[in-house]
Amino acid sequence: MFRISKWFLLAMLLWLQGCSAVKLGYQQLPNLSYWWLDSAVSFSDAQSTPTKEALGQLHRWHKRDELPAYADLVQRLAAQSAEPIQAAQVCAVWSDVDKAMDRTMRQTVRVAAPVAMALGPEQLSHLNQYWIGKNKDWEKEWLKGSASERLERRLGKTLERYSDFYGSLTPTQTAMVKAQMQQSVWTPEWGQRERLRRQQDLLGVLQKASQSNPSATAQVEADLWGVWQRWLEPPDAAGKVVMQKMVQQGCENLAQLHNSASPEQRQRASRRLRAYEQDLRDLLRP
């Protein structure tokens, strides 16, 4: 169920390539979310309509109550991108995004709880098998090959995202990003363990929800919210430390890269952000 919010964040965090893709992607979020959920659990005909209605309700709420805040955030980022930035500024933005994610998830668990309670054993088994297949793909992408090969794949993906905003990075900047990755607290092995933990956590809560009586909606919502909280902050002390360090390193790394950018690169980033802002403002129009 938590992938619903990920589709919103996909648009909001601007990983969609090209301005028109942001608008198109956001407008299609209910359909995209249903497609993903259906492929994961295989809804019955009786479940299909209420699930689509729940996704539509979530999308309308998000557009009305959350999209203006995202547009304002991107406007702020565009203004900041013309100047050097500090890691604390990056973390402040991420804190705002965290709060927005929480607001979206609060609404998501409300509409997701009845859907979760209607799932049957075969559908939960289908979800588990779906994850097994996806986990194999994940392992091929992040764990296959030597440490240097894995690093190069990560580097390629990261450079692609940065280049979309800044344009082609210089050899010095590329070396900087590579060094940042080599010093990262995140490892594929940790990522795999955390991925499996989250999946089993969610599966256990969904199994409990599917066995709940109709009067237990509030408890199901609370259980789903608990999964989200543990998604962001692992329950074990070591996991908490890794997550905290990952956030801090991310803030420091982005600030370091941005401050190495040429005036032309910063201008490109500012233009891209302002284009995204305009797309978000366009989406707010009746």
- At 137-163, the pLDDT tens digits run 999 999 999 999 999 999 999 999 899
Sorting pLDDT into bands at 50, 70 and 90, what band is 5? very low
- Angle, alpha carbons 267-270-271 (nearest 5°): 85
Q: What is the mean pLDDT of residues 202-230?
A: 95
The pLDDT of residue 18 is above 50: no
- At 225-264, the pLDDT tens digits run 999 999 989 999 999 999 999 999 999 999 999 999 999 9
Alpha carbon 177 to its chain centroid, in Å, reads: 21
Residue 85 lies in domain:
3-284
The domain total for the chain is 1
Sorting pLDDT into bands at 50, 70 and 90, what band is 47? very high
The per-residue pLDDT for 21 is 60
Q: Which amino acid is at 31?
A: N
The per-residue pLDDT for 27 is 87
